[in-house]
């Protein structure tokens, strides 16, 4: 199976290939189950909710049973009608009893059983992180450009008629610049390999905005965009190791894109990793992925919604995407005490569901 390996394309999500194993197996030492998913074609995101696994795939959303990997249903399809996607599904959010799938110019809404429940139009033609309903309003992060041309997601609240209520957050960390079109002559340029993380979600009629520029920081707003509280958790600063750039350049040189792209790039890294690289909310708990690492596992901090730490554990087995940290949310999800992710098995040429 030929896969797009360009890291700057939207479909390029980092898949981690683990050791070749049987289609359904269990690792007794780590309590890990692995289930083969031959129906998956080109997944871009996983969401787990209520014992069901939702995959944004190449032409629909596929729903599996978390217990045994049985395919339960397909939601939507490519097309232009109600409940159809004009582009490949990319970002999904489960909000209470709704599945929200971002599409070109709007978000498609479904019940968790797959029944179409209408659309939320994007307030403008500008790109969004997503748009999500929050009680009677809509929250989104349209992209604006500063004087230097950087792309900055700006937090805004709209009513359901898509009239702007207020700018409520400012801007999240800048997005990477788009690469030049294929065939255009390249020029030498710097490339930041480790970027600050920023994202948001909606939970219980509250908006949670994560921003690593001020440490492990999560701001909580009501549906009208008024700040309720700010969670700031102290974590150790993790210094970027000296060999980090060398390891990345080694991968570049081994890729097919070395001559046409990477050979023109000068890699740049900050002194420290961001304080965190992803967050999720599961059953009233904030689950935060940090850059702390031990025995090839990354740390997950679990907090209550007020920011009190409930547990800290090194259990995340995948290498985070430091350059495009907003992609980390797509690789995995958390359901109760289970960490769930997917990976591509080169030996069997199928995707697999991993549950630990």
Distance between CA atoms of residues 110 and 64, nearest Å: 16
Could you please report the per-residue DSSP string of 58-87? SSSEEEEETTT--EEEEE--BSSSTT-BSS
Tens-level pLDDT at each residue, the chain (356 residues): 434 433 333 333 333 333 333 344 444 345 899 999 999 999 999 999 999 999 999 999 999 999 999 999 999 999 988 889 988 898 999 998 999 999 988 899 999 999 999 999 888 765 667 899 999 999 999 888 777 667 889 999 999 888 999 999 999 998 887 666 665 657 888 999 999 999 999 999 999 999 999 999 999 999 999 999 999 999 999 999 999 999 999 999 999 989 888 899 999 999 999 999 999 999 999 999 999 999 999 999 999 999 999 999 999 999 999 999 999 999 999 999 999 999 999 999 999 999 99
Q: What DSSP element (H or E) covers 32?
A: strand 32-37
Closest CA to 332 of 13, 12, 6, 3: 13
Domain coordinates of the chain in residue numbers? 24-355
Distance between CA atoms of residues 200 and 189, nearest Å: 30
Distance between CA atoms of residues 27 and 317, nearest Å: 14
Distance between CA atoms of residues 320 and 328, nearest Å: 6
Closest CA to 152 of 232, 92, 211: 211
Q: 345: which residues sit within 8 A by CB, 6+ positions away? A: 17, 18, 20, 21, 36, 351, 352
> In this predicted structure, what is the pLDDT of residue 17?
33
* Beta carbons of 155 and 143 less than 8 angstroms apart: no
> In this predicted structure, what is the pLDDT of residue 248?
94
Q: Which CATH class is domain 24-355?
A: mainly beta
Cα separation values, 58 from 86, 298, 321, 329, 340, Å: 11, 29, 21, 18, 20
Q: 15: which residues sit within 8 A by CB, 6+ positions away? A: 3, 331, 342, 343, 344
């Amino acid at each position: 199976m030929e896969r797009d390996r360009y890291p700057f394309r939207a479909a390029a999500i980092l898949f981690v290939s683990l050791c070749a194993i049987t289609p359904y197996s269990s690792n007794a030492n780590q309590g890990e189950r692995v289930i083969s998913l031959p129906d998956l074609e080109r997944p871009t995101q996983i969401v787990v909710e209520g014992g069901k696994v939702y995959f944004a795939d190449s032409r629909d959303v596929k729903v599996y049973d978390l217990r045994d990997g049985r395919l339960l249903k397909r939601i939507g399809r490519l097309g232009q009608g109600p409940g159809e996607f004009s582009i490949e599904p990319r970002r999904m959010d489960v909000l209470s009893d709704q599945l929200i799938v971002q599409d070109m110019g709007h978000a498609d809404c479904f019940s968790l059983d797959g029944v179409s429940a209408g659309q939320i139009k994007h307030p403008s033609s500008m790109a969004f992180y997503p748009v999500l309903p929050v009680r009677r309003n809509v929250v989104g992060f349209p992209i604006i450009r500063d004087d230097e041309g950087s792309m900055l997601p700006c937090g805004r609240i709209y009513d359901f008629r898509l009239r702007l209520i207020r700018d409520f957050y400012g801007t999240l960390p800048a997005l990477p610049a788009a690469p030049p079109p294929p065939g255009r002559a390249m020029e030498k340029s710097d490339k930041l390999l480790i970027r600050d993380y920023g994202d948001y979600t909606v939970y219980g009629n509250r908006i949670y905005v994560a921003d690593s520029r001020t440490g492990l920081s999560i701001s909580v707003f009501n549906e009208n965009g008024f700040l309720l509280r700010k969670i700031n958790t102290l974590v150790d600063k993790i210094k970027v190791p000296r060999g980090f750039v060398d390891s990345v350049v080694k991968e570049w040189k081994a890729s097919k894109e070395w001559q046409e792209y990477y050979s023109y790039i000068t890699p740049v890294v900050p002194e420290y990793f961001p304080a965190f690289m992803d967050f999720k909310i599961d059953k009233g708990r904030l689950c935060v992925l940090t850059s702390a690492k031990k025995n090839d596992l990354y740390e997950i901090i679990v907090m209550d919604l007020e920011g009190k730490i409930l547990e800290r554990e090194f259990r995340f087995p995948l290498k985070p995407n430091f350059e495009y940290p907003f992609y980390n949310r797509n690789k995995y999800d958390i359901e109760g005490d289970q960490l769930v992710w997917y990976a591509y098995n080169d030996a069997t040429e199928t995707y697999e569901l991993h549950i630990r």
